[in-house]
Amino acid sequence: MTKLNETHDPALTSWVASANDGRTDFPIQNLPFAVFRRQGSQEPWRGGVAIGDQIVDMHAALGAAVFEGDALPAARAAAETTLNQLMGLGAVALSHLRRALSKALQTGSKNEAALKACLIPQSQAEYALPASIGDYTDFYTSIHHATNIGKQFRPDNPLLPNYKWVPIGYHGRSSSIGISGQSFKRPQGQIKPPDADTPQVKPSARVDIELEMGIFVGQGNALGESISIEQAESHIFGLVLFNDWSARDIQPWEYQPLGPFLAKNFASTVSPWIVTMEALAPFRASFAHPADDPQPLPYLSSAANSAAGGLDIQLEALIETPRMRNDKAEPARITLTNYRHAYWTAAQLVTHHTLNGCNLQPGDLLGTGTLSGPSLDQACALIELTSGGKNPVQLPNGESRTWLEDGDTVILRGWCEKPGTTRIGFGECVGTVLPST
C-alpha cells in the first residue's frame, strides 16, 4: 500500500493561491488527473492536473520542459488524449510524476514562471472520460444496501447465502458511461407489475440513483494470472465518484436469472478528476468484518488490508429539481455516508476479479456498488430512502420525491478530512434526467 511521503505534508502550500484556502478539493496535497480542453473549442483533448481552481495543461507543461528524469515518461503519458497509457505505467511511475508536480507547484518553486503559463481556469474547461474504458464491472460492497434491498423482497432472509463470503459483481456496459454533466433520456423497457398478467413496454417511472465510487485500474495483469491481495493496490490508479443510475420498475422483471440488464445500462456517470491512491494515503482506515461474520478467505486477507485497507471518504448526494433551479435555490442533500462502511475493500475487489485469471487492463472501471451506511439517512438510493417508494423524501422547498422526475439533477460530492491532514476532494459528479421523448 502507498506510504506517506513529502507530497502529503500538510504544511505545503502552492504559488497557486486558490489551492491554499482550506476549502478547495484540490490543494497541492491532492493533484488529481483528468482529460480536458477549453469549453467550446476544437482543441485536442489532453491530460491535466487540478490545483486549486486551475488546471495544469500537461501538454503545455511538457513544452515548457518542466519535467525531467524519472518523471518525464509519466508526464508524457499524462499529456495524451486519454490517461490509459499513464495508468499502464504503474504506481511507481505515477509517484515520480506526483513528486515532480508537487515540487513544481510549491511556493517558491523555480518552475513557477514556466508552469504559470500552462494554467487554464477550471471554469473555462470541459471534460472527457479520463480513460478509454474497455470493461466495466459493478460490485455490491455495502452490506447495508444489500440488506435494505433484500428486506423489501425477502423480509425473513434479506442476504443471500454467498454475500458474506464473496464480493458479488456483474459485468456492465462501458459504452453508456459518461462524464459529469451527462444528461440522458428516461429509459424505457419491459415492466410487469406484480398484479399484471403481461408486461408492457413503457418509460420507467422509477428512475433512481446509486451513489458509488469508481475504481480505475492502473497496471493490468496477463490473462491466466491472478493478482494477490498484497499486490492489488499497485494495480489501482485511483478513484472517482460514480452514479450508476437505475430503473427500479424494469429491474425486477428482467434481472432473473442472469442479473441486471436494461435497468442498469442506459447511463452511468463519473466525475472527471481521478484522485490517486497515493493522494488518499493519509485517509486509510482499518478494515474488518464483524467478529460473528465469516472472515475473508485467505486469498482475500492480508495484514496490510486489515490494518489500512479501508478509505475514510465522506460522500453525499444532493438533488436540484427544476423548481429549485427556477427559484435559484441551493440543491438539497438527500444522503451523507462514508466509503469506510463498505464490506469489501478496493484491493479485495481487484484480487477477487482476477482469481480465475481474468485479465484487467489499464482504464478498466470497477464500481463499488451503492455505498449505503448503517442508518437510513446514510442510504444511497431512493429505493432505500423511500422504503421502496412508500415514504417520499421531503425536500426543504416543500417538494417531495419518491423517484426522480424529468429535469431533476443529482450531484455527488466526496472529500477526505481529518485532524493533522489537508482536506482533499473529488469535485462533483452531476447528471440530469430528461424526458423519454
* CA–CA distance, 429 with 426 (Å, rounded to integer): 9
8, 145, 341, 353: the active-site residue: 145
- 422: phi > 0 → left, psi -120 to 50 → alpha, else beta; which? beta
* CA–CA distance, 2 with 15 (Å, rounded to integer): 26
Q: What amino acid occupies position 391? A: N
Q: Kindly state the cell numbers that stand for 33.
A: 488527473
Indicate if 145 belongs to the active site: yes
CB 240 within 8 A of CB 273: yes
* CA–CA distance, 16 with 92 (Å, rounded to integer): 26
* CA–CA distance, 143 with 281 (Å, rounded to integer): 25
SS3 state at 234: helix
Which residue from 93, 5, 17 is spatially nearest to 51, judged by alpha carbons? 17
Query: Cβ of 389: how many Cβ atoms within 10 Å?
Result: 16
Q: Kindly state the cell numbers that stand for 220.
A: 493490468
CB 425 within 8 A of CB 25: yes
* CA–CA distance, 37 with 120 (Å, rounded to integer): 9
Q: What amino acid positions are annotated as catalytic residues?
A: 145
